[in-house]
Amino acid sequence: MCGRLSQYRGIHDFVAVLSIPDALINPVGEQPLARYNAAPTDQLALLHLEDDGLRADKVRWGWRPHWAKDRAAPINARIEKVAHGPFFRAIWPHRAIVPIDNWFEWVDTPGKARQPWLIRRQDRAPILCAAIGRFPAHDTPPREDDGFVIITADSAGGLLDIHDRRPVVFSPQLAREWLDRATPPERAEQMALFQGEPSEAFEWYRVGKAIGNVRNQGAELIEPLP
């Protein structure tokens, strides 16, 4: 999975899909998020459960442990390694959902510039990506080591033609279970390994190369090429 995605709906549009009865604690705000071209280190809206209920917070995309200051903060974590490797051990118990509208991949074309593609759900519903990280809790101020990574798995089906990795995406029912802090880590690992949405749930199309410039924003970036 490459490091670019869209998150343009309002947070309540994303939360409604989850059907979680608790009142939302929402520092994110009521307006549409309007991020058509989000990149690593951006502050993105994510959902996580704390003692005071379901929270929506803006958190930096990317995280690394305190002892890894000599390397760039990863933005993704492979499910094959994330549950048992030392790098993400501290945040594996801290699960979140990053709701997005679509993500982008770049495909090499012989003799031409790389072609960007947009991937979204066929039913246009929000994409509920599994994530882990360190998040704000209660009324505490943001910390320097707050951040998150999106969990990825091998691509399958037609998605393999676009990229060999993709985010682990859950149905609303599984997303609620992923967020639930009572869900054992072993169960969470099995969900991420085997119960992500299949490639048939998605569609993809070419978009203009303007998406390659992180300064560009706007709905025109997600329009299909003729």
8 A C-beta contact, residue 58 and residue 98: no
C-alpha atoms less than 13 angstroms from C-alpha of 174 in its C-beta half-sphere = 19
Residue among 2, 50, 189, 203 flagged as catalytic: 2
124-143 per-residue burial string, b: 16 or more CB within 10 A, e: under 16: ebbbbbbbbbbbbeeeeeee
Token digits of residue 119: 């991937």
Half-sphere exposure of 55 (CA within 13 A, CB side): 17
Nearest alpha-carbon partner for 165 in 226, 92, 74: 74
Location of structure tokens 């924003």: 217
Give catalytic status of residue 105 as yes or no.
yes
Token pair belonging to 175: 């997303």
- Find residue 130's DSSP bridge partners: 97
3-state secondary structure of 80: helix
The answer to whether 140 and 51 are in contact (CB under 8 A) is no
Residues in the chain: 226
Out of 50, 105, 177, 197, the active site residue is: 105
- The tokens describing 189, both together, are 């690992």
The residues carrying an active-site annotation are 2, 105
